[in-house]
Chain A
Amino acid sequence: METTPTNEEQQPITAPPAPIAERLAYSVQESADMLGINYYTMYRLIQRQKIKTCRVLRGKLLVPRTELLQLLQTELR
């Protein structure tokens, strides 16, 4: 007797994709893109010291992930 294959038989089970590694810090542009705000808004927040940044040696500005999470949770003043 013929049996109908189940979905599990038709489609091999694949492991869920590995979570994307969360970086510790992002460039200003990446941060702006992630939040969906203008680049100048990010630099405004930096200029007004509402967001702390760091640098690798004397290189470009990096925004720590914790700062972005904090920005989403707190009031801006």
Chain B
Amino acid sequence: MKHCERPTQLEETANAEAMTVFAEQTKQFNAHCKAVHHVEANLATLGNTAFHAALELSGRAIQANDGTKWQHGVDLMENTSICHRRTGADLEFGVIEYMPMKSGEAKNALMNSDHSVRELLKTFVRDERQLLGIWKNDIVEQVKEHLAEKYPNQDMSIVAGSFEIKLARAISEKSTLAQNHSRGMRI
């Protein structure tokens, strides 16, 4: 069974090379994982801060791209914040992403809205975790494609596998099984 074997020299070389090629992507991926973890770890605090900001009706005005008007409450991560607005007697909360674009235009994309800030945060975290799953799978497919082009007719599944483990570990923050499943590949 190949899982018990040590990686070959070629696999080690391919792994090191792929890590260089995909350095920027994995860096951005890891940074986003940390940002999501930070939101998860501070869910109650962020919710309270957003709620108090809404009660005080404080915060700078933001117009979302759908035309709705909001006030900034609290930052969740880079360019992403919880905003609030009054709808009749109720308070409504929304997650808005500020998107500066190369064209010079900037969009304020309303991602989600809810009358409960707690539910809004739960939905946000769930969606961000799904996003990380899509992103992880896409990086792994890119790595596979890269390896197939660079090392034709070679089985480099262990290298792609080590990437997958590394990215999954960044999402879950669990590293216990990584070494066992990667046959000692430095990941």
Task: Tell me if A75 and B66 are in contact (CB < 8 A).
Answer: yes
Task: Tell me if B135 and A43 are in contact (CB < 8 A).
Answer: yes
CA distance A59 to B147 in the complex (A): 13
Quick one: closest B residue to A27, CB to CB? B142
CA distance A34 to B96 in the complex (A): 22
- Asked if A25 is an interface residue, CB under 8 A from chain B, the answer is no
Tier of interface size on chain A: 20 to 34
CA distance A76 to B65 in the complex (A): 6
* Residue from B65, B109, B141 within 8 A of A58 (CB atoms): B141
* Residue from B65, B134, B142 within 8 A of A75 (CB atoms): B65
Task: Tell me if A77 and B65 are in contact (CB < 8 A).
Answer: yes
Q: Closest Cβ of chain A: how far from B94's Cβ, in Å?
A: 11
Chain A residues numbered 24-50 whose CB sits less than 8 Å from any CB in chain B: 27-29, 34-41, 43-44, 46-48
How many residues in B have their beta carbons less than 8 Å from beta carbons of A?
A: 30
CA distance A43 to B35 in the complex (A): 15
Encode A61-77 as 1/0 by CB contact (under 8 A) with B. 10000000000100111
Task: Tell me if A77 and B28 are in contact (CB < 8 A).
Answer: no
- Asked if B107 is an interface residue, CB under 8 A from chain A, the answer is yes
Residues of A within 8 A of B154 (CB): none
CA distance A6 to B171 in the complex (A): 66
Residues of B within 8 A of A75 (CB): 65-66
Encode B103-140 as 1/0 by CB contact (under 8 A) with A. 10101011100000000000000010011001100100
Task: Tell me if B145 and A59 are in contact (CB < 8 A).
Answer: yes
| Given A48-B111, A76-B65, A76-B110, A39 and B134 contact (CB-CB distance below 8 Å) | no
Task: Tell me if B66 and A47 are in contact (CB < 8 A).
Answer: no
- Asked if B4 is an interface residue, CB under 8 A from chain A, the answer is no
Those 10 A-B pairs whose CB atoms lie nearest each other, nearest first: A36-B102, A76-B109, A77-B66, A60-B141, A47-B131, A75-B65, A43-B135, A40-B32, A60-B142, A43-B131
Known A43-B138, A60-B142; 8 more pairs at CB < 8 Å: A27-B142, A37-B100, A41-B97, A43-B135, A44-B97, A44-B131, A47-B131, A76-B66
Binding site for A on B (CB under 8 A): 25, 28-29, 32, 64-66, 78-79, 97, 99-103, 105, 107, 109-111, 127, 130-131, 134-135, 138, 141-142, 144-145
